[in-house]
Each structure stands twice: as C-alpha cells, then as structure tokens.
Chains A and B, each alone.
Chain A
C-alpha cells in the first residue's frame, strides 16, 4: 500500500512555456501532499505544502505565481511551472501522507529540462 505516482516522468519544454506535473495517491486518500525540488547531488528542498480544498502554503523564496499548485481532490495534486526558464530545470518530487499519519510516501519524480 501507500503508492504515489507522478506524471510525466520526464519532460523537455521550451523556454517560456508552461508544464503541468501530476501527483496521485493510488491506494489511499492523501490529506496533504508536498512538492520538493532536487538539484543534482543535493538534498530535497521543500517548495510547498498542499492540502485538499485549500490554497497551498509556499516556502520562503518560492514564487507562488510561478509554481502553481492545485490539490483538487484527496488523490490528486498538480504543480504547474509557468513561463519556464532554463534555471527551472530540476527534479521535482511529490509526496503524500494519509490522514492521521506522519509518514511521507514519495512519487518517482519528474525530471524537467527547459531548453
């Protein structure tokens, strides 16, 4: 149990375009989902916390107008990178937790390359 999927796994886009990444909890209801960013050989940096039916909470330094997060249901959260630039190229990872629990379960990640 506790499987999280992400789609797409890999995406290449041109500078100035927008990209949407989906994160789904497949076998449980996720009251909270998290979005992380990871640069090569570095740790995970939390970008935002997403609760179903409410606005996401962004970490300091993360542009909420650039990284749009929507948690439309208890099994789906989306991250849209708007007007992407090469510096947005990174590995984006989502995680989810079940109601009443603290353990985070991670999706396989999405590798974004902006050309």
Chain B
C-alpha cells in the first residue's frame, strides 16, 4: 500500500510565526487530505487536496501530485493551532480509504 511520511515530527513556534509542514507519499494519489487533531482528540478536516492549491484563512495547502508531496502552510500561528497535523492519502479504487502519516506535533507558545 501507499506510504505517507510527514516532516518535521515535532515543531515549536512562537505565536505569530509562520510554518510549513510537509507530506511525502510513495505513489500517485486520488485522494489527499490534511487534518488537525486538537489536544482533546477531535480531528478537524482542513483540506481535501489531491492536487493544486487551496487557502482557508491563515492556512493554505499545495499538492504537487507529479512530485508526490503536499505542503501545509500556517501563517501568523496562534496558540489554538497547537495539536497534531495529519496528512492522509489514498491510491486505491476505494479513494475514500485513507492511509495516515505519522503526523507533525505543533506547539505554539506565547
């Protein structure tokens, strides 16, 4: 099956800083999503982005499918951005069935 790797594994930022999280995948994908898991365990759907670029407020994401990577940008980080960011991908006939990466644990400090 597809392999999904994320970097960095851990990241500490001061409030207001910008950051880039990376997701590499081992094969072509027909589904790629970014999620944020808050400290209470709830996963929030950030982007569905198998290709191209999307923006939502301070967050944006870009997937370069031909080069098998996706980037999540967080600008002007806030303490509420803390948590774990997961990238998940699929390359199967069941495009909704996702393989999750290992995550990037983000801590934003004052």
Contact A108 B40 (CB under 8 A): yes
Identify which of A45, A46, A102 gathers the most chain B CB atoms within 10 Å of its CB: A102
Q: Which residue of A lies closest to B50 (CB)?
A: A102
Give Cα distance in the complex from A27 to B80, angstroms: 26
Give Cα distance in the complex from A46 to B1, angstroms: 13
Task: Specify which chain A residues have a CB less than 8 angstroms from the CB of B40 in the assembled complex.
Answer: 108
Contact A43 B102 (CB under 8 A): yes
- Set A46, A102, A106: member contacting B43, Cβ < 8 A: A106
Task: Specify which chain A residues have a CB less than 8 angstroms from the CB of B100 in the assembled complex.
Answer: 43-46
Contact A44 B86 (CB under 8 A): yes
Q: Interface readout for B31-73 with A: 1 if CB under 8 Å, 0 if not?
A: 1010100001111110010000000000000000000000000
Q: Is B98 an interface residue (CB 8 A)?
A: yes
Give Cα distance in the complex from A113 to B79, angstroms: 30
Q: Is A104 an interface residue (CB 8 A)?
A: yes
Residues of B in contact with A (beta carbons under 8 Å apart): 31, 33, 35, 40-45, 48, 86, 88, 90, 94-103, 105
Give Cα distance in the complex from A38 to B42, angstroms: 12
Task: Specify which chain A residues have a CB less than 8 angstroms from the CB of B97 in the assembled complex.
Answer: 34, 46, 49
Contact A91 B41 (CB under 8 A): yes
Q: Which residue of B lies closest to A91 (CB)?
A: B41
Give Cα distance in the complex from A105 to B88, angstroms: 13
4 further interface pairs, Cβ-Cβ under 8 Å (given A44-B88, A46-B97, A102-B90): A41-B105, A93-B41, A106-B42, A108-B42
Task: Specify which chain B residues have a CB less than 8 angstroms from the CB of A34 in the assembled complex.
Answer: 96-98
